[in-house]
Amino acid sequence: MPNGYERNKKKGLGTIPVFFLSLSTLVGAVMFLRFGYVVAHVGLLSGLGMILLGHLATIPTALALSEIATNQKVEGGGEYFIISRSFGLIIGASIGIVLYMAQAGLVAIYIVSFSRALEPFFEYLLASDLSIYVTDYRVASIPAFIFLCILIYYRGNTILYQSLFVVVPLLTVAGGLFLLSKNNYHQSLSLLEMNQHIPHNLRFFDVFAFCFPAFCGVTAGLGFSGNLRNPKRAIPLGIITSVISAMIIYIIVMVKLHLAASPTELASDSFLIYKLAKSNIIVPIALAAVCISSALGSMLMAGRTLQGMAADRVFPSVRLNRWLARVHRDQNYLPETLNAIIITAIFVLILVVINNLDLLLQVVSVLFTLTCGSICLISFLEHFGADPAYRPSFRSRWFISLIGAVVCIFLGFNIKANYTLLFLAFMVLVYFGVSTFQHKTQGLSVIFQGVTFQISRRLQVFLQKVKKEPEAEHWRPSIVCLSSASFERTAVFDLLRWFSYRYGFGTYIHLIHGYFSKETNIEAKEAFKRLVNVSEQTESNVFIDTLISPSFTTAIVQVIQIPGIAGKENNVILFEFSKNNYEEAEDIVDNFQLVKVADFDVCVLASSERHFGFKNEIHVWITTNDYENANLMILLAYILLGHPEWKEASIKIFAIYPEDELAEERQNLMDLIYAGRLPVSANNVEFLSQKESGDTKRIINQKSKYADLTIVGIRTELIKHSGSEVFKGYDGVGDVLFVNTQTMKILR
């Protein structure tokens, strides 16, 4: 009969296991053993300040990880998998090495803390007839760690889930016994007494280092990342709620310690909570259980991190990578990453034998400040770089990630500057070392390229607006628009500013027909001023320019040679004509081949009097004849949704295929949607067979009658054969955007 874990694994775990695993780790051993030390040495007021300061680092990290986790399908690699698949293997390896050491260090901290939890038992042995005096806690910590390894070997991931059924009730009872105990020192809070502490020579951050690892269990819930039913919901909700809950518990526990005992008592007895709870045996049992559970979770996470790096060939030895990456899936309880866990066990055993809890707390604190700081910094850069490939369903805020990065760097250098510099140098060496044999993977250069694009764009637009005079790869649109009807119709300018709001770049060129002369030059300057004024009023990011040319053909020749803004060449040209005057489309058709020679994607807006209606619906039409245009059409629709004016809009896809291809194409499109790479709901996709549809234009007029924008693909061959007739026959719909791509775009 399958056990509870196996039944849940088949249907997937929910948010509750993520929440409780993270919470039980956060309110675990360090809180029990070190919060009294903190209150004794810095007082309650400074202790509460430490909680606030620590969460200025961990809350942004939790938000950043939750955001990153919703950017792609979350598999069983935990924290390392989430980071490396969003930011690339080189960055992932640099953070992953430090993350692995921190996770292994946490295991050692929990095991050493477990031996401290047995202090009441050691006191009992001394007082008994046996008179056994235990001077070295390693007699408990080393066997406990061996027992932990045996548990992992025979029960694997199963025991992690099952342990919650024991740990959570024990923690609840132990916490209740402690909180309901008598206040022996203060009966109420007084501001004058909240700063009482024993005399000492320690700095604020020396004491802070002893409690910061308590806050670092924030990502423990990622241990279930491979077994979650809906990780994009469970991870953000479980992690964030556990962090907030733990912060409240920290404050309550610290206040209770201040009221219950004097600073001297708190400093002299690291396990005073046990005595305050009237020596109830539940307290050390709960502490021992939570230590083992937390160590188990961190051990499995460390193994997955090491196995994930080996699977990505981070280490220079091929044989080592192959051995560490080996996954055992054929046995019921054998861990998935046995070889990686063996190496981790050896590393942790060395730390346990060293048996220096204070040193471990300091080193792990520095390691986690670097890990959390790196995650927050890269999250901030991704926000600023605005890569279309980075589109998480849960979004933090750029300033929160920036605050987290700054606070983490500040904490690292104040806890131990020499340790911080040492590990920073190690991360840099890993980055350059991995980049030497991982040439094709994403590194910081890709992220900084996006940041550079954004800085360049904003500077160009800012300088243009200030001076009031013209100045002359993840795929992203760099669009140049050519129009002579700028002051008669604003639809194409609006479309361009929506495209260039966040993800793309836009250059708008107003065409003045004629030869260059004093009169046309004056006209061009006046038109430029008017357009820049429009740009300012609409708060657009569009770069404005004017062009004097005797014909539409010569104008296109000049436009396709204009360099793009922000250091990126133009790759899309946007034309426009009114549906009331199809003669304007003739110029576009006549010069279509000229544009294609320049390897440009082409968009043609057929504007109507509806002017994009209520901006609620975007219809994308995909047919078997222009399938290569599909990804570009969908990507452009998604980019439109990024503008505030379209934030309430939805994308609806209509796919027309021959009957014999319909099932296969339906599955392909649904796979992209369920993988999270298409920003549309499966309910917003309608499949039509070629036989049922009949005339394509007729069905588009019927289905998209009330659409605010209809996007249709056009083929180059059809333009050659039918000319401007391609654009006709859409009188039943509003604004239509015709799209022709040079090469098929890849949606990741």
For the cut 70, the answer to whether the pLDDT of residue 330 exceeds it is: no
* pLDDT on residue 544: 92
What integer is the mean pLDDT of 228-254?
85
For the cut 50, the answer to whether the pLDDT of residue 652 exceeds it is: yes
Least confident of 71-80, 118-127, 228-237, 274-283: 71-80
What integer is the mean pLDDT of 77-96?
76
CATH code of the domain made up of 4-437: 1.20.1740.10
What integer is the mean pLDDT of 75-102?
78
Coil, helix or strand at residue 657:
strand
* pLDDT on residue 694: 55
Torsion of CA 542, 547, 551, 555, to 10 degrees: -60
* pLDDT on residue 27: 81
Percentage of the chain with pLDDT > 70?
86
* pLDDT on residue 380: 85
CA 392 to centroid of chain Cα atoms: 6
For the cut 50, the answer to whether the pLDDT of residue 460 exceeds it is: yes
Q: Are strands 736-740 and 601-607 parallel, antiparallel or unpaired?
A: antiparallel
449: confidence class by pLDDT, cuts 50, 70, 90: low
The token pair at 473 is 């790869």
**Residues 625-653: b if buried by 16+ CB within 10 A, e if exposed:** bbeebbbbbbbbbbbbbbbeebeebbbbb
What integer is the mean pLDDT of 42-49?
92
For the cut 60, the answer to whether the pLDDT of residue 74 exceeds it is: no
Q: What are phi and psi of 280, to 5 degrees?
A: -70, 130
Q: Are strands 505-513 and 478-483 parallel, antiparallel or unpaired?
A: parallel
For the cut 80, the answer to whether the pLDDT of residue 392 exceeds it is: no
* pLDDT on residue 49: 93
The token pair at 613 is 């209606």
Least confident of 91-95, 180-184, 449-453: 449-453
Beta bridge partners of 542: 506
Domains 4-437 and 457-740 are alike in CATH topology: no
The token pair at 564 is 């793009």
Cα gap 293→571, rounded to integer Å? 55
What integer is the mean pLDDT of 42-60?
92
688: confidence class by pLDDT, cuts 50, 70, 90: confident
H/E element holding 696?
Answer: helix 696-703
Closest by Cα among 34, 98, 746, 20 to 372: 98
Least confident of 132-136, 593-597, 738-742: 132-136
Q: What is the pTM of this model?
A: 0.63
What integer is the mean pLDDT of 459-484?
67
Cα gap 434→449, rounded to integer Å? 20
* pLDDT on residue 200: 81
For the cut 90, the answer to whether the pLDDT of residue 744 exceeds it is: no
Question: Which residues 6+ apart lie within 8 Å of 606 measured at CB?
Answer: 576, 577, 578, 579, 585, 727, 730, 735, 736, 737, 738
For the cut 60, the answer to whether the pLDDT of residue 412 exceeds it is: yes
For the cut 60, the answer to whether the pLDDT of residue 467 exceeds it is: no
For the cut 70, the answer to whether the pLDDT of residue 333 exceeds it is: no
Top-tier CATH class for 457-740: alpha beta
15-25 pLDDT tens trace: 888 888 788 77
495-525 pLDDT tens trace: 999 999 888 889 999 999 999 999 999 999 9
Question: Which residues 6+ apart lie within 8 Å of 633 measured at CB?
Answer: 620, 621, 622, 711, 712, 713, 739
Cα gap 628→106, rounded to integer Å? 51
Closest by Cα among 652, 626, 584 to 740: 626
* pLDDT on residue 463: 54
What are the residue ranges spanned by the domains of the chain?
4-437, 457-740
Closest by Cα among 525, 504, 461 to 632: 504
What integer is the mean pLDDT of 288-298?
82
Q: Are strands 617-623 and 709-713 parallel, antiparallel or unpaired?
A: parallel
Cα gap 59→53, rounded to integer Å? 10
* pLDDT on residue 675: 66
183-239 pLDDT tens trace: 777 777 777 788 888 888 888 998 998 888 888 877 776 656 556 677 777 878 888
* pLDDT on residue 469: 42
CB atoms within 10 A of CB 517: 10
Least confident of 5-19, 80-94, 564-578: 5-19
Q: How close are the terminal C-alpha atoms of the chain, in Å?
A: 41
